[in-house]
Amino acid sequence: MGLTNFWKGRQVFLTGHTGFKGSWLSLWLERLGAAVTAVSLAPETGPSLYRKLAPWDDRRHHIVDIRDAAALLAIFKGFEPEIVIHMAAQALVRRSYENPAETFSTNVMGTANILDAIRHTPSVKTVLVITSDKVYANNGSGIPFVETDTLGGKDPYSNSKACTELVCQSYRDSFFKGRDLRLATVRAGNVIGGGDWSRDRLIPDFIRAFEGGEPIMLRYPEAIRPWQHVLEPLGGYLGFAEVLTEERGKNLPDALNFGPNPESFATVSELAEALGRAHDVENVWRLAPGEHLPEAPALTLSSALAFDTIGWRPRLSLQQTIDWTAAWYKANREGEDMRAFSLGQIAAYEEAVS
């Protein structure tokens, strides 16, 4: 799967553009020549990848809460996009325990507001809603999930994302079937890469500990996660949106998984130790004391359907993913132009998939 000239001049509505994945996707869409209007909350972290990648065209970027249905509809009517990529979410498991109502209102009702605005915007032809690998009912077996597996989720974040999938299904069946519009969801695992400063995530926690000269404290060192570089699923999202738009008569799936190679699965402690080696640091982690909120011990995805549908497959090994991530933070510490550096990593990834 290689990227084409499809995106040049395309009218794209993007939500969540100030977040980690959203900032990378915004930069990539800009590089591809898309005409993007974006809505999101203001960046929540300092530093912020969104600010690191500036300058942006502020005229097409709006600070709006997706729970504000009237504001969303007004922006849709003023822009009339062809493609909508919905990434905005409350994406942290631990925060979902702290404030479950916020998580459900953002992830479920926020998505409903987006889809309702689309319902009143005839120009929209393709909608891609980003959910999570955590939408599946997980029994801890470690068997890779496929798209037809049962949805579920015990913690508020996982459950809210499964609910998001059901909201999409309802709008697809109730409002979009008689219209020339394709709505699909995409599910990816734990993405890593440069520019993430969120709390309670392994890479930013490691960077903060490394820069403070302390070991990182791990809550679940033996938990297996499907680690992948952020550009891997983003490339899949772009490819799937293109196919949904260009091949409208084709029988395409309503959901796709985008996970890493099985050999890239690793425990939290294994990834922390690999990060330590990349930074020439030993004894990089300790077990965090106290009781911890439950999280799924094993969570892996099958991406076979993505390969069959759009020819997507992961290109970066786990070691390459770690190296690219470490290189980004090193360049940032050394004061490099991180917009140019990030564009360089995107270009390198494009070459890998061409």
CATH of the domain at 144: 3.40.50.720
Q: Contact, 213 vs 106, CB < 8 A?
A: no
pLDDT band at 298 (very low <50, low <70, confident <90, very high): low
- Count of CB atoms situated within 10 Å of the CB of 17: 28
pLDDT band at 104 (very low <50, low <70, confident <90, very high): very high
Q: What angle do CA 302, 138, 286 make, to 5 degrees?
A: 95
In DSSP notation, 6-56 reads GGTT-EEEEE-TTSHHHHHHHHHHHHHT-EEEEEEPPP-SSS-HHHHT---
Percent of residues, the chain, with pLDDT higher than 90: 77
Burial class from Cβ neighbours inside 10 Å (0-12, 13-18, 19+) for residue 183 reads buried
Q: Is 239 exposed, middle or buried (0-12, 13-18, 19+ CB in 10 A)?
A: buried
Q: How many domains does the chain have?
A: 1
Cα torsion 116, 58, 131, 89: sign: negative
pLDDT tens, residue by residue, 25-65: 999 999 999 999 999 999 987 899 999 999 886 668 999 99
Instruction: Note the maximum CA span of the chain.
Output: 59
Provide the H-helix boundaries in 190-265. 202-211, 231-246
pLDDT average, residue stretch 290-319: 85
Burial 184-213, CB ≥16 within 10 A → b, else e: bbbbbbbbbbbbbbbeebbbbbbbebbeee
Beta strands in 234-325 (DSSP E): 255-258, 266-267, 285-287
Q: What's the gap between Cα 292 and its chain centre?
A: 25
Q: What is the mean pLDDT of residues 267-275?
A: 92
Give the structural domain span for 223.
5-353
Strand order in the sheet with 182-188: 61-63, 35-40, 11-15, 83-86, 126-130, 182-188, 255-258
Q: What are phi and psi of 226, to 5 degrees?
A: -85, 80
Across 300-322, average pLDDT: 94
| 184: nearest Cα among 241, 141, 231 | 241
What integer pLDDT is reported at residue 51 of this predicted model? 95
CA quadruple 171, 173, 175, 181: dihedral, nearest 10: 90
Least confident of 5-9, 87-91, 93-97, 147-151: 93-97
Helices within 40-104 (DSSP H only): 49-52, 69-79, 93-98, 100-104
What is the pTM for the complete model shown? 0.94
DSSP letter (8 states) at residue 149:
S
